[in-house]
Structure 1
Amino acid sequence: MLSSLAADRARVADLDAHILFLERSLEELKSQRQPVLERLDSYKYPVLTLPNEITIEIFMHFLPTYPLCPPLTGLDSPALLTQVCRTWREIALGTAALWRAISIPLRAQMLFKHQLRLSSIWLNRSSCSPISLDLNEDVIYPLHGTELLSALMLHCARWQHLNLRHLTVPLLRMIQVPMPLLRSLDLSLIDFNQDSIRAKVVFPEAHLLRTVVLNDHAAEVLTLPWVQLTSLTLHGVYPQECVPILQYTSNLVHCKLALVDDDDGDVTVPDITLPALRSLELAGYAEGYLKTLIVPALRDLRVSESFLEPECVETLAAFISKSHCQLEELCVTDSTPESRDSYRDAFLLITVSFGRSTWYS
């Protein structure tokens, strides 16, 4: 009993001595750590010594070129810049241009509230900057589109580039509001029926609008200030549907028409003159359509061989002669290898190339 008591007392003494040793060692390590921390605090990373203006320029090159939109989250989002360090976060949050291009894909019901919240954050961070919006509406959840558009319309005076895909006509009617800064519109409509076009959709006060891309439904339901456009793309339209639009687009410089042929062979398309047009692309198929266009300023033509058949070279020569244009570039898409030499031989003063159509009906 006495020997056990003596052993425990000796063990406690040893432990106390060891604790004292460790405490002294810990104090020594702390004293060594402090100057290291002070040196780290005083160290300036080279990138953080740059003027804010240069850092902002680097940030802008991190993003897609405006008006292209980065994702709301992830490695390609400007939100990543706010997570690197405090300095970068302050600079990023204070740079409105980083948040002016907003892409909102409505693909999952469970994520909608999160997307709506992030969109509101980006809109607030963009301050008074003109904005680019890329909205891909989900057919399954049209109520989400209503809620989102209601929030976006609070900023309609700042809309500069608008990309609305898979939108319904009722949602489109919501945004018949003044858009004084709008320069480009890319719109495709779905859920289309004849009842929906009884009243046309008009965008009032879009005086800066110059570039427009429409699918067939949007081209039929939408009324725009056509005369001020300089670039127009129509997808999946019948040739006769182009007439009420092209007859007012006298200032067009660039035009792409992806056409579908009308089964009614009795439909006659009148000649259309586009005096300022310099580049034209025709895709899809519409027999005889090329001969209806008179384009005296045309310099660049990209046309599917289906528009030229059956006498391809003769059709092109007649088109050039009728328009009195000085064509410089000719690209015949979806051509047969056997026909290519005939184009080169017939148009020696024109740069002739061949490729594939960028659109299929």
Structure 2
Amino acid sequence: MTSNLNNANSTPSSRAEDRALIAEIHQQQASITQLIQKLRDKTREISQTLDAASPFPFHQLPPELMASIFTNCLPTYPFCAEMVGRKSPAKFMLVCRRWRDIALSTPQLWRAMDIGSINSRYVSQLSLVSLWLQHSKSMPLSIDADSFTHIEEDTMKALFAHKERWEFVRFQLDMAKYPGLKDTTPLLRSLELNTDSYLPSSQGIDVSFLPRDVPRLRAVILWDFWMPSHFEGTATFFPWSQLTALILLYPHVSNCNEILQHTKQLIHFELIMSSSSPEGPESNILLPDLQSLVFARYGSDPDEQSETTHYISTLVLPALRKIRVCDIMIRPNPVAALKALVERSGCKLEEVCITGGRSGAKEIYERELGTYVWFDESHVGTEGWIEEDEQARARQRIADIILDMG
């Protein structure tokens, strides 16, 4: 049938023919659309058949099992996966559509963020963090931003918008700039904080974490903790009494003494001092539930002869089972210092590790302490807790304590 539209002298008959032609074209289009849909359905059916017969077992696994496998390919929560590169969960999305769909529907893959792994020269920090926050849905979050990580202000705002989901957090920031850090964080269980400078309480800024705002907080790691001596805020800066694990790195001695008066539920405690030799507390400090103790020094001379037994000579630890101590922290007589701790506390040591000590004294240690003693000579240098493996050991211990509590 030929259209008569080009005929200027169209008649009712010719226009009727044109309308019939249009109807015929519509019918043909509908037939073609149906054919295309049938071909698509057939293609999908064949693809599913091929997938089912695939020699690769992954294609036959149910999605929930695949999701579990993906999760176990990443660092165990709360430790964070890199957000870009081969170690990122984004790699699963590159294999095929099915893997991509499973990855995007598994929020556990995206809840632990190593922000330091983002190179802002190649990818927007804010965009990637926002994407992970979206993919993680309502899951509790683990956020790792070490001292070398610059968190852009917009990125920090995005993280603070999800503050109610924070569970394990590591930050270096100026609390005067982010006073909201102390506001309600109902899920927060572990906080590692480098305040970037002395705490701004002397400036009239309230930085105290109230128990009602952090009801689940049980572990704290504080770097360079110092409050001015005239400010009476150390005791209320954290709800110390509810903590079960505490690591203090290079604290001011007066702050440290006051903190330990309020930490009666500690199970694990680490004290890392600078090369200066501080005075210990004026009276004994009882930590009735402490099971593991670490004493270390940073920036010290392994051959230094100054007496540094102040802290260990004032502690009473009846539940102590494990101790890891830098030899220089218990001089001039390390064996006598540890033996006095055991006798004063009435504890029974099960594991003793001496770092930077003289392994030739092993038999003397074991005879006097009545337990196995080993020497870790890998930490004889001046780096101390700055070494990555020392930090990994400490953070693993913190995570184990928190997760064991359920």
Greater CA drift, 323-332 or 188-197: 188-197
How far 1:108 moved relative to its partner?
A: 5.9
How far 1:63 moved relative to its partner?
A: 1.0
Aligned equivalent of 1:158, options 161, 165, 169: 165
Matched, 1:114 2:124: yes
Q: Which residue is 1:55 aligned to? A: 66
Q: In 2, are the aligned partners of 1:106 and 1:136 still within 8 Å (CA)?
A: no
Q: Secondary structure at the match of 1:81?
A: helix
Kindly report which structure 2 residues correspond to 1:229-268, keeping only aligned pairs within 5 A, or say none: 229-260=243-274, 262=276
Matched, 1:88 2:99: yes
Q: 1:37 to 1:115 in 2, by over 3 A?
A: same
Q: Which residue is 1:212 aligned to? A: 220
How far 1:307 moved relative to its partner?
A: 2.2
Greater CA drift, 254-263 or 291-300: 254-263
Matched, 1:359 2:385: yes
Q: Secondary structure at the match of 1:80?
A: helix
- The amino acid of 1:179's aligned partner reads T
% identical equivalent positions: 34
Q: In 1, are the aligned partners of 2:83 and 2:113 still within 8 Å (CA)?
A: yes
Q: In 2, are the aligned partners of 1:238 and 1:261 still within 8 Å (CA)?
A: no
Q: Which residue is 1:16 aligned to? A: none
Structure 2 unaligned spans of 5+: 1-41, 229-233, 301-307, 388-406
Q: Which residue is 2:367 aligned to? A: 345
Q: Secondary structure at the match of 1:291?
A: coil
Mapped partners of 2:120, 2:84: distance in 1: 17
Structure 1 unaligned spans of 5+: 1-34
Aligned equivalent of 1:72, options 83, 89, 94: 83
Mapped partners of 1:56, 1:107: distance in 2: 24
How far 1:269 moved relative to its partner?
A: 3.9
Mapped partners of 1:95, 1:256: distance in 2: 36
Kindly report which structure 2 residues correspond to 1:315-326, keeping only aligned pairs within 5 A, or say none: 315-326=337-348
How far 1:233 moved relative to its partner?
A: 0.7
How far 1:237 moved relative to its partner?
A: 2.0
Mapped partners of 2:190, 2:199: distance in 1: 26
RMSD across aligned positions (CA): 2.9
Mapped partners of 2:226, 2:170: distance in 1: 13
Mapped partners of 2:268, 2:69: distance in 1: 33
How far 1:37 moved relative to its partner?
A: 11
Q: Secondary structure at the match of 2:313?
A: helix
How far 1:241 moved relative to its partner?
A: 2.6
Q: In 2, are the aligned partners of 1:261 and 1:287 still within 8 Å (CA)?
A: no
Deviations 1:204-249 (A, max 9, x none): 4111011111112378878111111111111112443311211111
Kindly report which structure 2 residues correspond to 1:1-361, keeping only aligned pairs within 5 A, or say none: 42-44=49-51, 45=54, 46-105=57-116, 110=121, 114-136=124-146, 145-164=152-171, 166-192=172-198, 198-204=204-210, 205-217=213-225, 223-260=237-274, 262=276, 269-284=282-297, 286-347=308-369, 349-356=370-377, 357=379, 358-359=384-385
- The amino acid of 2:335's aligned partner reads V
Mapped partners of 2:112, 2:342: distance in 1: 42
Mapped partners of 2:114, 2:182: distance in 1: 21
How far 1:151 moved relative to its partner?
A: 1.2
Mapped partners of 2:71, 2:177: distance in 1: 33
Q: 1:179 to 1:325 in 2, by over 3 A?
A: same
How far 1:291 moved relative to its partner?
A: 0.5
Mapped partners of 1:200, 1:269: distance in 2: 29
Q: In 2, are the aligned partners of 1:298 and 1:327 still within 8 Å (CA)?
A: yes
Q: 1:60 to 1:197 in 2, by over 3 A?
A: farther
Mapped partners of 2:43, 2:216: distance in 1: 59
Mapped partners of 2:75, 2:278: distance in 1: 45
Q: In 1, are the aligned partners of 2:199 and 2:227 still within 8 Å (CA)?
A: no
Greater CA drift, 245-254 or 127-136: 127-136
Mapped partners of 2:135, 2:226: distance in 1: 32
The structure richer in strand per residue is 1
How far 1:344 moved relative to its partner?
A: 2.4
Q: In 2, are the aligned partners of 1:257 and 1:281 still within 8 Å (CA)?
A: yes
Q: In 2, are the aligned partners of 1:158 and 1:179 still within 8 Å (CA)?
A: yes
Q: How high is the TM-score relative to the length of structure 2?
A: 0.71
